[in-house]
Amino acid sequence: MRIFFLGTGAAEGFPAVFSRTPINLEALRRGGKNLRLRSGILLDEVVRVDLCPDALAQVHKYPHLDLAAIEHLLFTHSHDDHFAVRELQYLSRNFAPDRELPLDIWGSHQVLVKLCGETPHFFEEPPLRYRALEPFREIAVGHLWVTPLVANHKVDELCFNFLFRDGDTRLLYASDTGWYSAETWDFLADISLNAVIVECGKGISTNGYTGHLTLEECIAFKEKLALKPGAPVYLTHLCHTGLLLHEELEEHCAPHGISVAYDGLEFVL
């Protein structure tokens, strides 16, 4: 399983699109790993998780990837930084005359209903196939097996994290999760994981929002999982309000065996 980080930033990006606080200005000055597009990953070059408003920027940023060739698109939830669905109209024959295969769209029933509510605004109907996902039910998505896990992120919508399986290899992708309910923790209790990607949207900030994790919660999150020896744990969905630049977050994470993802990072399981 090959995992590529298309973006590792939170909703407003990092540095943020309209904020010029000192940490944003310093991230812009340092550049490199501190420049983060909105979050999403690509698996084995054909399965994508979430479609962000930076989708075109990612095509330009990673010319070695054929991002037009994706076959499956999974949505975690319908927040705008993950659900830029009007970009899907550019799959239509008028904009992509060379595309032959339809794109399979996977998500909760609520997400698919919201997507169908947007398609009347499309310039032209694109070739899409809708696939509903159910919590804790494993299903084949192309060559991978995927189990949607219930996240604690949006009170008015069923939000998913995803457990990916290829043979005996398992990856947990936990973006926009919050702390899991007992139901999700119980499901994961006996599952050995080869790698984990978890959001750290709150960093070291202490606001009361429970839909994202702090760094302290990410450390506890890792300790609660059944990880195989040497299994990497990466942080993603990082925000300027988390108060740490990339290098600073690395220093905080290193003693806990946690790595900090960055845009363009790739690893193989």
48-69 per-position pLDDT tens digit: 999 999 999 999 999 999 999 9
What is the mean predicted confidence (pLDDT) over 88-113? Answer: 96
Name beta bridge partners: 268: 2
Residues in the chain: 269
148-195 confidence digits (pLDDT tens) = 999 999 889 999 999 999 999 999 999 999 999 999 999 999 999 999
Measured CA to CA, the distance from residue 93 to residue 88 in angstroms comes to 12
Domain with 89, as residue range(s), is 2-268
CATH number for the domain that contains residue 18: 3.60.15.10
- Write down the pLDDT at residue 206: 82
- Write down the pLDDT at residue 155: 87
- For residue 190, how far is the Cα from the chain centroid? 24
Enumerate residues 6+ apart whose C-beta is below 8 A from 183. 136, 150
Measured CA to CA, the distance from residue 71 to residue 63 in angstroms comes to 18
241-265 confidence digits (pLDDT tens) = 999 999 999 999 999 999 999 999 9
CA angle, residues 165, 79, 241, in degrees to nearest 5: 100
What is the mean predicted confidence (pLDDT) over 9-33? Answer: 97
Measured CA to CA, the distance from residue 209 to residue 248 in angstroms comes to 23
- Residue closest to 200 by CA, chosen among 168, 223, 183, 177: 177
Measured CA to CA, the distance from residue 171 to residue 259 in angstroms comes to 15
Q: What is the CA radius of gyration of the chain?
A: 18
Q: Are 261 and 14 in contact (CB under 8 A)?
A: no
What is the pTM assigned to this prediction? 0.97
Number of domains within the chain: 1
201-242 confidence digits (pLDDT tens) = 999 998 878 899 999 999 999 999 999 999 999 999 999 999
